[in-house]
Amino acid sequence: MSSETYPNRNEVSDDKRNGIAETSKRFLISLKEQLHYSENTIQAYAVDLAQFNDFLSEYHLDSNITVEKIDKASIRHFLGMLVEKGISRKSIARKLAALRSWFKYLIRIGVIDYNPAKSVSFPKLEKKLPSPLSVEEAVRLVTAPKADSFAGARDSALLELLYGTGARLSEIVGLDIQNLNRESGTVRLFGKGSKERIVPLGGPGWKALEIYIGFRNSKLSDGDEVALFLNKQGKRLSGRGIQRIVKKYMSMTVENKGKNPHTLRHTFATHLLERGADLNAVKELLGHEDLATTQIYTHVEAEGLKKAYKQAHPRAGTK
């Protein structure tokens, strides 16, 4: 990423004297303080790097292995060990991504000269098609909360925003009240790596927000809290808090579907494509960097078409 910043070169000598554990710590700090990665991603990378360090100690029979001694072969053996342990291909791909990012960081600060993980191929992932809500299920969900109290109005606005914008959980957690622009009908979201995008929100979403903001403002004793969604203590609502709210209402209204905020993101994208939205436009709305990531939703749409064909066409069952 062109916007990345790294420690300056006078820190390199410290890294050269340190082993894998210390350089990993420096890397994780840079992810948090300079690149603004989410806590979940940083914790996952920390586990991945610690596991790799443990593997190298056994592989090289040396608990003080330095980063300069890591080569492509040792990385491939690490991935092979993960396969033998039955680790999923998705998890292995994430671990390899963590290693690539770490080596990239070490190159940029001058500790190593090349990235030994760069030419190691990612494992082919099994594509699990998401199970979006139907339109009827989505409407039933977002209209389930009774907006006659602070909690009910908040939950109503939260569900409307998740379904109406396709926002990630972390983006909703970080949303501040000044990120709303009622005049233009848009919401400013900050995605992975603090990348900003502006997305539209429809009328029902704004109506729910206006009701909730009335309760929100009455609850606050001062104007210092900038977070849009608050808990009962008047502080920013956490990711776990949002997950609990979504699960509560999905358990009341929907059967046999993933009861988490990401299901609403899947649903948002699928419903747009089913109604003829351009794939590139959906990519921008979702904040995807790669069009291939968005294309999984075209498979979902195709599955729906195949199901309708099998149900309706008199010769759909013949081969």
How do residues 205-252 score in pLDDT, each as one tens digit? 999 999 999 999 988 876 678 999 999 999 999 999 999 999 999 999
Residue 290 in domain: no
Report the pLDDT averaged over residues 3-24.
55
Given 89, 94, 100, 192, the catalytic residue:
192
Q: Give the tens place of pLDDT for each residue, 166-207.
A: 999 999 999 999 999 999 999 999 987 778 999 999 999 999
Marked catalytic residue, from 154, 257, 265, 266: 265
Range of the domain at 71: 9-108
Higher pLDDT, 173 or 21: 173
Whether residues 32 and 75 share a domain: the answer is: yes
Is 74 a domain residue? yes
pLDDT 10s digits, 75-111: 988 988 888 888 888 888 889 989 999 999 999 988 8
Decide: helix, strand or coil at residue 189. Answer: strand
Q: 72, 248, 259, 262: which is the annotated catalytic residue?
A: 262
Q: Residue 8: what pLDDT?
A: 45
- End-to-end CA, the chain: 50
pLDDT confidence of residue 16 = 44
What is the number of structural domains in the chain?
2
Mark whether 168 is an active-site residue.
yes
Question: Where a domain ends, among 108, 125, 144?
Answer: 108
Domain with residue 32: its CATH number is 1.10.150
Which of 168, 216, 266, 283 is catalytic? The answer is: 168
Q: The domain spanning residue 190 has which CATH number?
A: 1.10.443.10
Check pLDDT > 60 for residue 126: no
Residues 140 and 249 in one domain: yes
* 288 in catalytic set: yes
Active site residue 297: yes
Whether 262 sits among the annotated catalytic residues: the reply is yes
Q: Note the pTM of the prediction, 2 decimals.
A: 0.59
Residue 314 has pLDDT above 90, yes or no: no
Order of strands, sheet of 186-190, starting from the edge strand that comes earlier in the sequence: 180-181, 186-190, 196-200
Contact 59, 74 (CB under 8 A): yes
Helix axes 239-253, 150-165, angle to 10 degrees: 90
Say which residues have a Cβ less than 8 Å from residue 21's Cβ, sequence separation at least 6.
50, 53
